[in-house]
A and B are shown apart, each in its own frame.
Chain A
């Protein structure tokens, strides 16, 4: 079983739609969680960190469920520019900053 699992998609959604991605992690000792965005053939860029209380940044909302070991990302009012791959990451609890990533979920927003 992979440490971090995501549905690879693709998720094809119309502009303006709301879309949600889930990600599960197997290491219960993971302390920090993240969503990264990666455009085609580009480097990943941090979209948002995920806190226990949940957090929101404009149209994006991230939530963490430690009991079920999953995190989610909700995108409201999808824009064409949201088309990308969204990587879920779990930070290691060890003494160094290792992040285990899922394979990513591809989102295509359609006009």
Chain B
């Protein structure tokens, strides 16, 4: 177990709705990254948070937004959901300054948009 927890594990939304996903990082980790993994694809980087600020963003529209809290936990918010947003959303925690890419993933939140 990585110690990274995500909630909810599964959820179903309809097009146009908004969703909030939550992540608690592993103890001692101060950086949280969010990835989207569509079926049959590799994870795609959405953004990263460090010291409560967005610290890098992938090719995702502004309706994908996030927060990081003082305890390093994080939220991913997606507005105006589209069918293509159906995916597994993975949170990964790490420690700034450590080797890039040694990520510890949570089990993910599986979002279905109808």
With A34-B101, A94-B56 as known contacts, state yes or no: A99 contacts B107, CB within 8 Å: no
**Which partner residue on chain A sits nearest B108 by CB separation?**
A43
Across the interface, do A45 and B105 meet the contact criterion of CB distance under 8 Å? yes
What secondary structure prevails in chain B residues at the interface with A?
loop
Across the interface, do B99 and A43 meet the contact criterion of CB distance under 8 Å? no
* Interface status of A66 (Cβ within 8 A of chain B): no
Q: How far is the CA of A91 from the CA of B50 in the complex (A)?
A: 17
Interface residues of B in 54-99 (CB under 8 A from A): 55-56, 58, 90, 94, 96, 99
Across the interface, do B102 and A101 meet the contact criterion of CB distance under 8 Å? no
* Interface status of B24 (Cβ within 8 A of chain A): no
* Interface status of B48 (Cβ within 8 A of chain A): yes
Chain B, interface residues (CB within 8 Å), range = 20 to 34
**Which partner residue on chain B sits nearest A6 by CB separation?**
B42
Q: How far is the CA of A89 from the CA of B102 in the complex (A)?
A: 10
* Interface status of A111 (Cβ within 8 A of chain B): no
Across the interface, do B100 and A91 meet the contact criterion of CB distance under 8 Å? yes
Query: Ordered nearest first, which 6 A-B pairs have the shortest CB separation?
Result: A101-B42, A96-B56, A91-B100, A91-B101, A43-B105, A99-B101
Could you jot down 25 A-B contacts, CB within 8 Å? A31-B100, A32-B99, A34-B102, A43-B105, A43-B106, A44-B103, A49-B101, A49-B102, A90-B101, A91-B99, A91-B100, A94-B56, A95-B55, A96-B48, A96-B56, A97-B31, A97-B48, A97-B100, A99-B43, A99-B103, A100-B45, A101-B43, A101-B44, A102-B42, A103-B42
What residues of chain A have their CB less than 8 Å away from a CB belonging to chain B? 4, 8, 31-34, 42-46, 49, 87, 89-92, 94-104
What residues of chain B have their CB less than 8 Å away from a CB belonging to chain A? 2, 31, 33, 40-45, 48, 50, 55-56, 58, 90, 94, 96, 99-108
